[in-house]
C-alpha cells in the first residue's frame, strides 16, 4: 500500500512539473506568432521554424527523459528566438 501511495505521489509531482513548465505553452505560441509575422520573408520563417521545432523536440525529449538540462537548454533556445519572431 505504501508503494502505491509513493507511486501516485511521484506521478503527481511529475505531472505538475510538466504542467508548470513554460515551454509547454510557449513553444506553440511562438510557432503561431511566427506564422502571423508579416515582417519576415518565407526563407527567414523557414529557418526560424526549423529552430523552433528543434527546440520543441529537445524540450519534449527533456520531459520524457526527465533531463532538466535539455529542458533548460530548450527554454534558452526559445528565449533567444522570441525576439526574432516578434519583431
> Tell me, what's the pLDDT at 21?
85
- Per-residue tens of pLDDT for the chain, all 87 residues: 445 444 444 444 454 445 568 888 999 999 999 999 999 999 999 999 999 999 999 999 999 999 999 999 999 999 999 999 987
The half-sphere exposure of 42 on its side-chain side, counting CA atoms within 13 A, is 0
> Tell me, what's the pLDDT at 22?
86
Q: Are 35 and 26 in contact (CB under 8 A)?
A: no
> Which run of H or of E encompasses 2?
helix 2-20
What is the DSSP secondary-structure string of 6-74? HHHHHHHHHHHHHHH-HHHHHHHHHHHHHHH-SSS-HHHHHHHHHHHHHHHHHHHHHHHHT-HHHHHHH
Amino acid at each position: 500500500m505504501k508503494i502505491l501511495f509513493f507511486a501516485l505521489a511521484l506521478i503527481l509531482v511529475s505531472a505538475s512539473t510538466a504542467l508548470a513548465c513554460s515551454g509547454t505553452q510557449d513553444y506553440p505560441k511562438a510557432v503561431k506568432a511566427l506564422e502571423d509575422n508579416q515582417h519576415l520573408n518565407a526563407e527567414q520563417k523557414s529557418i526560424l521554424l526549423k529552430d523552433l521545432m528543434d527546440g520543441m523536440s529537445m524540450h519534449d525529449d527533456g520531459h520524457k527523459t526527465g533531463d532538466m538540462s535539455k529542458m533548460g537548454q530548450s527554454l534558452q533556445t526559445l528565449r533567444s528566438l522570441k525576439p526574432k519572431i516578434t519583431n
